[in-house]
Amino acid sequence: MTTMNGRGVDEIHGYAPLRPVAGVAAPDASPVVPGAVSQAALDAAQAFSDAHDGLALLVYADGALRHEAYAPHLTADSLFETFSMHKSALGLLYGAAIRDGAIASIDDPVGLYLAEWRDDPRGQIPLRHLLGMSSGLTVHSLDKGDPVALALMLGDRISETALSVQAQRPSGEVFDYYNVAAQVAGLALSRAVAAKGLGDAATYLSKALWGPMGGADARLWVEREDGEPRFFAGLQARARDWLQLGRLVAGAGALDGRQVLPADWIATITAENPLNPAYGLLVWRAAPAPGGKRSYGPSTAYAAPHGAPFIADDLVYFDGFGGQRVYVSPSRDLVIVRIGRPRLDFDDAVLPNLIAEGLT
């Protein structure tokens, strides 16, 4: 059985088992450079994050890191568990798998890559619908104490459980945010890269994305010693590494003059999902939030507070439970990384709007 006896985001000693994701020996250690954002805006953003149990806040703008702050017991080398932000890293990694020929197209049926579903109607679900959260798979909810949901989160046969989930409706009809969709998409990628001789999921993440972007050593929370990662959560990394991922989105796949991921893939995952303007493919997007709330779909009771429209209308972001975020505005060369202990009252609009207003 997997365990998570630590306290979540910053105290992560209790997650097990783990698999290493090798980074580079000397990850980026660029200093904070004043400028580009007013100090008043940075102070207000820091105060908001702190008031909502913030642990790390980084702001990158106009080509440099402009702000970096951590809770007193943490440093730039601290690893964090940021929950569903892993989904967005998986979305980026898909671009590498397509580039490397492991996956031909996200319009392929998932059964092409998963033997268990090859002769099953669920095998006809296109990868695009899994990445876009319109899989049609039955949602088992933790809110209701569903044993399948508990097995998906904490069991040691998570992949097997995910593959046992049946279809509720045809795919491509309803946006319904769901961990199982990401898990199945991750399994398809894992099988595809292994079949291509590119290693397991952790090895491929290291070689295709983490190393090339200059990340430090990270780790994946796996279902069991010989099992697969949780592709919907469990990527434990530094705040600066999440900043690098955000910079890849801002730079259309390029980072410090190097094209790490295809530019057309970044355009693909950040384009509007036809079923939800606030979503792309495993990333969220700026869109109206009726009633000041952002919905995760009909099967999720919780909706994220969203008190005002985003000032940056090109904003895309990674969303981890309770206020883990990477906000990116490509037109402003702006990336904000915010990590904190989970708070259901975390308002999505505050940080990116404060910083956008403070850009000089």
pLDDT per position as a tens digit, 251-285: 999 999 999 999 999 999 999 999 999 999 999 99
CB 55 within 8 Å of CB 72: no
Among 225, 221, 196, which Cα is nearest to 208's?
196
**Strand stretches in 174-224, DSSP E:** 218-221
Residues 47-106: tens digit of each pLDDT: 999 999 999 999 999 999 999 999 999 999 999 999 999 999 999 999 999 999 999 999
Mean pLDDT of the chain: 96
**Domains within the chain, CATH numbers bracketed:** 32-358 (3.40.710.10)
For residue 144, the model assigns a pLDDT of 74
pTM above 0.85, yes or no: yes
For residue 141, the model assigns a pLDDT of 87
Residues 139-163: tens digit of each pLDDT: 998 877 889 999 998 899 999 999 9
Can you tell me whether residue 153 is helix, strand or coil? helix
For residue 352, the model assigns a pLDDT of 98
For residue 143, the model assigns a pLDDT of 77
Exposure of 155 by Cβ count < 10 A (0-12 exposed, 13-18 middle, 19+ buried)? middle
CB 325 within 8 Å of CB 9: no
Match 């991750």 to its residue by tokens. 186
Exposure of 93 by Cβ count < 10 A (0-12 exposed, 13-18 middle, 19+ buried)? buried
Residues 94-141: tens digit of each pLDDT: 999 999 999 999 999 999 999 999 999 999 999 999 999 999 999 998
For residue 6, the model assigns a pLDDT of 41
Flag whether pLDDT at 1 surpasses 50: no
Give the list of residues 6+ apart from residue 197 with CB closer than 8 angstroms, or none: none
